[in-house]
Structure 1
Amino acid sequence: MTSEKQMSLDVSSSHRHEDGSVALPKIGSTPSPSCQYKEGTFSAYEDEIVNELDFRQIEDTETSGNLPVIDRPQFALLVMLYLIQGVPIGLAFGTIPFLLKGSNLSFSQVGVFSLASYPYSLKLLWSPIVDSLYFKNIGRRRSWIIPVQAVSGLMLLFLSTQVDALFLDLEANLYRLTIVFFILILLCATQDIAVDGWALTILSPSALSYASTAQTIGLNTGYFMSFTIFLAFNSPDFANKYFRKVPSDVGPITLSGYLYFFGWIFLSVTVFLWFKVPEQPAHLRHVSKKHDEEEAIEMYDLNAAPGTSMTSPFRDLEPSSTFESLVSVYKKMIRVLQLPNVKLFVVLHLISKIGFQVNDGATNLKLLEKGFTKEDLAIAVLIDFPFELVFGYYTARWSAGEEPLKPWRYGYIGRLIAAMLGQLLVWSFPSGGVTTPYFFAVISQHLLGSFMSTVQFVSICAFHTQIADPTIGGTYMTTLNTLANLGGQWPKIIVFTLIDKFTKAKCILPATVKEPTLSQLGNTCANAHTKELCQSVGGKCQIITDGYFATNVLCIAIGFLLYFGWIKRTANHLQSLPSTAWRVHQD
């Protein structure tokens, strides 16, 4: 092809988290890495990379466990790209919800902000475009990464000048803040698609297995910097207790300063990419040249897995132009969703996270409301982080058997138990403040929930890999992963709304104070405005009925009913089906 915009497809970049409140998690968990590197499906250029593999070299590398020296600069670059990508994610999924709740906003209002995380669960809708359209003279991946990072950096710099004013009246500025972070996460999701694809072409064939390692290190580091570390150093109490000789009422790191710093980091990395980093490393350019020559002769099934026949159920949909190629991918997605077993699996994905939605999204916020400090909660999550890595390793081995959904079912029950323990923690919050035993109980509950979430995620990834039709592996995997992520997102705003609906609170005024305004507002302490009004006249908001408990019990009950009434039986049925039951056939 000779046009400036070149076309090829790789829709293997799904993502990461199962709920944004992310394995995208409960608040405090980082988006989980996707299964994309297991599926063996690449775009046209990545197919060439795979076809050039020296398998003896790969075996030697896996045996030695060492990253080739020639790939270390590219590996470091990938870590940096994923790290800065994790910065806005950590703010949107972790820090901002904590700050919103700490500013007396209701759960419903925090739920509104959760809409900002949706782009990560809907990347499927535009990932073919990112993987298809690019400027040849800039490069397939750089055409997207450079402008997206530049816009992200400029947005962070602009937001750094506005965020303090926005936080002065969060209730009035909530939608504006949500829109800004929605755009930021949209940019991060788009960058993620491009970086995921670049990781497969910027490393030598013998180093491809390190692509997911770079993703895990970079994304988790950026996320925890913006969540755990930021919350700790944003707290004046934390700094006064551990670092300062002279106390201050301002934390060492402010949100505006943090945004300003990383705005320039984004722009600096972008400038470095533009001037110093080519699309293809010198030692891989011969593969790129060979691909360009063959692409000028024939455009073939860009989603075919390496080593599979070019004959597929989609031969009538094979692309003859950029537009037709793009349309063909969306047609393949529809074909996948039309399979009867996939329809059943989609329903399973969409309802299987209802049971632990309250625990994942609201338990930490409720602890914060009760008096658990942001920095202590951040430390609890930080302690949880290394255990997640260990859990992931052993869970992957556990999920390698003939029943990949068996661990997933165990994880489901485990997360329901974690939700029950979360309710117990909130109910038994010490009236005199957090004690050491209570702090360790919080950590233990976090570890249980994290472990079970990891079990479910790794298990479902293994199952996705087993059932994906290899002739359209990228499209198949991305479709399933996107629906899995969406299943953890859609109930969240409903759950937050129910918590507020079931909560009854009133302003208790001193006997000497009579405030007609409170009576006009129903004296409910229902939102930040009425809470501030109550406090301004010397009153105190008292919760009569806490909607957290009722909503959590409701979700747990639904979770158990679904599991024993339908989910367990359906999961066993789906994993017993032969691989042919998941194949897309020509009409």
Structure 2
Amino acid sequence: MKARGSKSASKQARQRRKGTEDGEGESMPPNRGHAAMSTSLDSVAVTPRTPHSTTRPGDWVNGGSPEEVELALLDEGERQQARFGIDEGDSGLSEKPFSSEDKRAMVLLSILYLIQGVPIGLALGSVPFLLREHLSYSQLAIFALSGYPYSLKLLWSPIVDSKFIPSIGRRKSWIIPMQTIIGSLMLWISFNVQKLLDKPAENVNTLTIVFTSLVFFAATQDIAVDGWALTLLSEENLSYASTCQTIGLNTGYFMSFTVFLALNSEAFSEKWGIPHLQLSAYLRFWSLVCFGVTVWLLFFQKERKEVLDENDMNIVGVYKTIWSIVKLKHVQTMLVMHLFAKVGFAANDAISSLKMVEKGLGKEDLAVAVLIDFPFQIIGGWLAASWSRGGKPLRPWLWAFWPRLFFALISTLIVFWFPTPPITTGFFIFLILETVFASFSSTIQFVGISAFHTTISDPLIGGTYMTLLNTFTNLGGTWPKYFVLKGVDLFSIATCEVNESGTSLKVKAAECVSDLGKEHCADLGGTCITERDGYYAVSALCMTFGVIFLIAYIIPAAKKLQALPVSQWRVKAS
């Protein structure tokens, strides 16, 4: 009984290694909440697909499956082996060289994830910076809604996993139409973007709908690609799927954010003597790439047939499994913790970098700072992974709260005392150092919570479990963004002061915070006088709440949660 249970669980765990090794935002590019150069990626992390258990979902709710009973009979060592998909005598590491088929599969996966990273980098990175000059923070809050689909993939991932056209393939049935739509949307935007950006205040709703749709289709493509990785790669090299995700998404995101912002800057182009890159040309290029990859998939890439049973097609069963997990009391405690854990640095993540650009920091300087920070995030990830091992994986996650809150405060002070441009080399180096250290604390939190999710997720339904936890973690960074951006305008007091014949006249303007509002004031022959910048009030409120919630709820709750035995996180019989 032991041997059979261990091997059965191990096999299933290996089949779901894609969903259980990556942790929170497994395929997410870095930049999770930079203090000075936030890219807001903390709010939208990529979660794994929701694979179906090989047991019937009803068995979990109504008494447990035979394989669950077998797993319960194993000792702790065997349970650990089963959880991470390691058979006896198997180190879990493949000593076989990569086959040419696996190499081609890794290239294909990296390209597919790259296609996702491009619209994500635009929606969360570069476009908000292009709009900042023309929109109020309340209007930017509306555009921030475009990132929500990546935080809500759990809602429709079982559908993508279960419904397909057999003649096309389980994964290609979704990837081909999604990429066709993504390419078509980018092509449409490329021909209309200048018109939309000329009057962004009038077109903010259209821009939000377009980019929300773009992110939604990219998120749906991601669900299908995650599932395809399980059959594209051989079993011994399955763990390299996360490597493909990291390479592809990071490359796509940084090309759309870091590289594009630099090449889109006229100052950068003049300084280095390179052509000025327009957003329309950038979008057209990637739409052609998207169409080209889609044509290749349609005519030249075959998909292996998967052996499916009734459970693989049972959408209702997966949703029931998700609900049975949510009903666990300690899971509810964790979900509450996740929903509010990132409020403390929400203002910093969403606004600080925009404020620095408003104060005179060049977008190309911002891009360079983020680019320099990237390799340090990789190093930080390796270090944090080793710190998160052992019986207290949440300990580094808890420790990193304090430096992350501290750097949020430092970032706010930087905005307050930002020097008059041009900024000196010394100050720019200081900004880079602050960005690197703030990013490092964010990376520690990311890896720590990922390790904990991996530890507690049931190996037989790991993908579903992980996706549920990651959804709430991602929402914790997504939902505050709208409110903190709205709060800046709400708490700001700025008036348009017009001097006529030596008399100062204060005109109450509808909006005198954004560059557009200041331009309207200038048309009246006046100057915007900011009596109170709402950014500082919102930042203070967020950090105050963050400290109180950390001490009063997160620390005691996290200590109790990580002290629970793994068996307590399993779905119990009702």
**In structure 1, the residue corresponding to 2:344 is in which secondary structure?**
coil
Check whether the contact 1:98–1:365 (CA below 8 A) recurs between aligned residues: yes
Compared with structure 1, are the counterparts of its residues 33 and 494 closer, same or farther at alpha carbon in structure 2 (3 Å cutoff)?
Answer: closer
Q: CA deviation at 1:62?
A: 4.2
SS at match of 2:496: strand
Amino acid at match of 1:16: G
Q: Quote the residue 1:317 is aligned against.
A: none
Match of 2:288, as an amino acid?
W
Letter in 2 for 1:28: T
CA shift digits 1:378-434 (9 cap, x unpaired)? 100010111111111111111112101100001111210110110121112112431
Residue from 92, 100, 104 that aligns with 1:69:
100
Q: Does the CA-based 8 Å contact 1:15-1:121 persist in structure 2?
A: no
497-506 or 333-342: which moved more?
497-506
CA drift at 1:551: 1.2
Equivalent in 34, 39, 53 of residue 28 of structure 1: 39
Matched, 1:504 2:489: no
- What is residue 309 of structure 1 aligned with on the other side? none
The amino acid across from 1:126 in the alignment is: W
Offset of residue 579 of structure 1: 1.4
Matching residue within 243, 259, 267 for 2:291? 267
CA positional deviation for 1:544:
1.7
Q: Identify the residue that residue 112 of structure 1 maps to in structure 2.
A: 142
CA distance in 2, matches of 1:211, 1:21: 17
Q: Do residues 341 (structure 1) and 330 (structure 2) align?
A: yes
Give the letter for the 1:70 counterpart. E
Which residue number corresponds to residue 553 of structure 1? Answer: 540
Residue 471 of structure 1 deviates from its aligned partner by 3.2
The answer as to 2:242 corresponding to 1:233 is: no
TM-score under structure 2 length normalisation: 0.85
The alpha-carbon deviation at position 357 of structure 1 amounts to 0.3
CA displacement at 1:54 relative to structure 2: 11
Q: 1:78 aligned to 2:109? A: yes
Aligned to 2:279: 255
Give the Cα–Cα distance (whole angstroms) in 1 for the partners of residues 323 and 48 of structure 2: 20
Q: 1:115 to 1:33 in 2, by over 3 A?
A: closer
Judge conservation of contact 1:18–1:485 (CA < 8 Å) in 2: no
Q: Deviations over 1:163-222 (max 9, x none)?
A: 100011111100100000000000000000111111111011121121111100010000
Larger RCO: Structure 1 or Structure 2 (Cα < 8 Å, ≥ 6 residues apart)? 2
**1:101 pairs with one of 132, 136, 161:** 132
CA distance in 2, matches of 1:505, 1:61: 61
Change in Cα spacing, 1:379 to 1:529, as seen in structure 2 (3 Å) is closer
Q: What count of residue pairs does the alignment treat as equivalent?
A: 527
Aligned letter for 1:334?
W
| Cross-structure match for 2:557 | 570
C-alpha distance in 1 between matches for 2:33 and 2:326: 23
Mean CA deviation greater in 528-537 or 93-102 = 528-537
Distance (whole Å) between structure 2 residues aligned to residue 330 and residue 60 of structure 1: 31
| Aligned partners of 2:361 and 2:421 also within 8 Å | no
1: CA distance, partners of 2:265 / 2:327: 51
Alpha-carbon RMSD: 3.1
CA offsets 1:37-84 (integer angstroms, 9 cap, x no match): 9x9x76669xxxx9xx998998696458x6443311111111111111
Distance 1:138 1:234 in 2: 40
**Cα distance in 2 for residues equivalent to 1:493 and 1:471:** 37
Query: What is aligned with 1:285?
Result: none
Q: Identity over the aligned pairs, expressed in percent?
A: 44
Match of 2:188 in 1: 158
Q: How does 1:278-289 map to 2 (within 5 A)?
A: 278-280=302-304, 288=305
CA distance in 1, matches of 2:157, 2:502: 59
Tell whether the 8 Å contact from 2:132 to 2:514 is kept in structure 1 after alignment. no
SS at structure 1 position matched to 2:531: strand
CA–CA distance in 2 between the matches of 1:20 and 1:167?
27
Q: Structure 1 residues 35, 175: CA separation in 2 closer, same or farther (over 3 Å shift)? A: closer
Verify the 8 A CA contact 1:336 1:476 in the aligned structure 2.
Answer: yes
Q: Distance in 2 between matches of 1:78 and 1:169?
A: 38
Distance in 1, Cα, partners of 2:566 & 2:86 = 29
